[in-house]
Chains A and B, each alone.
Chain A
Amino acid sequence: MKEYEMIVIGGGAAGLSAAIEAKRHGVNVLLIDSNDKAGGQLVKQTHKFFGAKMHRAGTRGFNICKELLKESEDLGVEVLLNGLVMGIYDGDTVAVDVKVSLTEHKLMMLKAKNIVISTGASENAVRFEGWTLPGVMGAGAAQTMVNYRHVLPGKKMLMIGSGNVGLIVSYQLMQAGVEIKGIVEALPKITGWQVHASKLTREGIHIYTGYTIKKAHGTDRVTGATIAKVNPDWSLVSGSEIEVDCDFICIGAGLKPLTGLAHMAGCELIYDKALGGWAPAHNYNMETTKKGIYVAGDATGLEEASTAIEEGTIAGAAIAEATGHLSAAEAEERKAGAWRRLADLRDGFHGEERLAAKNKQLAEYDRLMGVRE
């Protein structure tokens, strides 16, 4: 069985950063991704990122992706694409289903004492009458088709959810020529950032706060939708229905960390709404309750590409230390720098809840592992 010092599962912002940091210090690392190209969510993000320069603010997501891919290539990070990791066994063996062609798959077993799980997140669904019709899809799915594959799923769209994903995807679909018929938000106020919402309302797009979808119309595909007002007990206000003329519906109801592999490996998970649901507890090194298994990015709580990059960097530095490529002092300098940038990113109005959840995650690791202050 082929052995590496480190295997990274998932080549998004977090995984690429972990691999880059480790490789920079000489760690023998393999990066595995199930897609035909690495980059994860970033490949389809066209908007400019917020924050300070050191967090690559002002750069479009897909360009950050190009920078990371180039860095990883220049360093000579070994990458295995079309490889779906199906399981982690005995804490150090990774089973990969490698797609060779349409009809041929091969199973590879690989070993590493240090494994980073950076598998990202999956979209939440919302169920309503007609939700299985062709034309109802995840907001991320529509974003992938439009910004990455450059085809439109339809002409007139209704968005469910006014979180950042719902708002940003609506704006991006509009840029690509889709008519946005409205955004429904069951809560009494817009849940995403005002700056994203304003870009839409300025264009005359209506955000129906306090509304939800009642039904998608159509037999073979979406031909329209009925939306209605929501009572505080989540029942619908009769007589409040509005007919929406749309041919596709996007669900932007949030994401949840992909924790399957961590769960299978025996890492302890904790639940926090601010993290998107269940996520592995971890320590200062991003190591989970299973020795040698690390996490980074959306897989350990939904945040941003910028935070995913820093978490990946911490895991990479910690593994470089664990494998003897960095001294404790050198590693500490790298880790402390990344934690400082993380603190900045989680500072302020939008970060409060996340920061609290993240601190709880660290404290929970200490409690589970019996670490004393």
Chain B
Amino acid sequence: MRVTEHPIFEDLDTTEYVNITVDGKPVKAVKGEMILAALLAEGIIINRYTTKRHEPRGLFCAIGQCTDCMMVVNGMPNVRTCITPVEEGMTVETQNGLGEWRTEG
């Protein structure tokens, strides 16, 4: 969910979007926002599953300190989505365990 009305922030116009793919599904993200913000706007809150016990993890610190929000971005695992901005055409995938490197093509 996005914050659309707010007593202090008036300028919440989000007119410029980019297209990203999350686990194969197309998602519209606000230009320049963090990947994690685009996911929360869609109600997606699981970012990865742990290595040993396969437990879900999601947003915990929002400032790049805890690594709970790591996902596979453009084939690269362990990207902290709370501090990584979206880019047009980006692919984002839920990460399992430590993830695997994948290079395109």
Interface of A with B (CB < 8 Å)? 34-36, 46, 60, 102-103, 122-123, 132-138, 140-142, 144-147, 149-155, 175-177, 220-221
- Contacts of A123 on B, CB cut-off 8 Å? 61
A102-B84 CB under 8 A given contacts A220-B46, A221-B45, A221-B56: yes
List 13 additional A-B contacts (Cβ < 8 Å) besides A34-B64, A102-B76, A221-B58.
A35-B63, A102-B73, A122-B61, A133-B56, A134-B47, A141-B62, A145-B37, A149-B36, A149-B37, A149-B62, A150-B3, A153-B59, A175-B7
Complex contact B85–A151 (CB within 8 A): no
CB distance from A61 to the nearest CB of B (A): 11
- Contacts of A102 on B, CB cut-off 8 Å? 73-74, 76, 79, 84, 87
Which of these, A35, A142, A152, A176, contacts B83 with CB under 8 Å?
Answer: A35
* Residue B102 at the chain A interface, CB threshold 8 Å: no
- Contacts of A149 on B, CB cut-off 8 Å? 33-34, 36-37, 40, 62
CB distance from A254 to the nearest CB of B (A): 14
Complex contact A151–B37 (CB within 8 A): yes
Complex contact A152–B46 (CB within 8 A): no
Complex contact B2–A138 (CB within 8 A): no
CB distance from B69 to the nearest CB of A (A): 10
* Residue B5 at the chain A interface, CB threshold 8 Å: yes
Nearest residue in A to B63 (C-beta to C-beta)? A144
* Residue B52 at the chain A interface, CB threshold 8 Å: no
| Distance between Cα atoms of A153 and B63 in the complex (Å) | 15
Nearest residue in B to A248 (C-beta to C-beta)? B45
- Count chain B CB atoms within 10 A of each CB in A137, A142, A146 and give the residue with the most: A137
Interface of B with A (CB < 8 Å)? 1-3, 5-9, 12, 14, 33-34, 36-37, 40-41, 45-47, 55-65, 73-74, 76, 79, 83-85, 87
Nearest residue in B to A84 (C-beta to C-beta)? B64
Complex contact B57–A132 (CB within 8 A): yes
Which of these, A141, A144, A152, A220, contacts B1 with CB under 8 Å?
Answer: A152
Complex contact A151–B62 (CB within 8 A): no
- Contacts of A147 on B, CB cut-off 8 Å? 9
CB distance from B65 to the nearest CB of A (A): 6
Complex contact B60–A144 (CB within 8 A): no
| Distance between Cα atoms of A154 and B47 in the complex (Å) | 15
Complex contact B84–A134 (CB within 8 A): no
Complex contact A134–B63 (CB within 8 A): no
- Contacts of B1 on A, CB cut-off 8 Å? 151-152, 155
A152-B59 CB under 8 A given contacts A60-B8, A145-B37: no
CB distance from B87 to the nearest CB of A (A): 8
Complex contact B57–A140 (CB within 8 A): no
| Distance between Cα atoms of A283 and B15 in the complex (Å) | 51
Complex contact B85–A36 (CB within 8 A): yes
Nearest residue in A to B53 (C-beta to C-beta)? A132
| Distance between Cα atoms of A102 and B84 in the complex (Å) | 8
CB distance from A55 to the nearest CB of B (A): 21
- Count chain A CB atoms within 10 A of each CB in B7, B36, B45, B47 and give the residue with the most: B45
- Contacts of B87 on A, CB cut-off 8 Å? 102
CB distance from A258 to the nearest CB of B (A): 9
- Contacts of A46 on B, CB cut-off 8 Å? 8-9
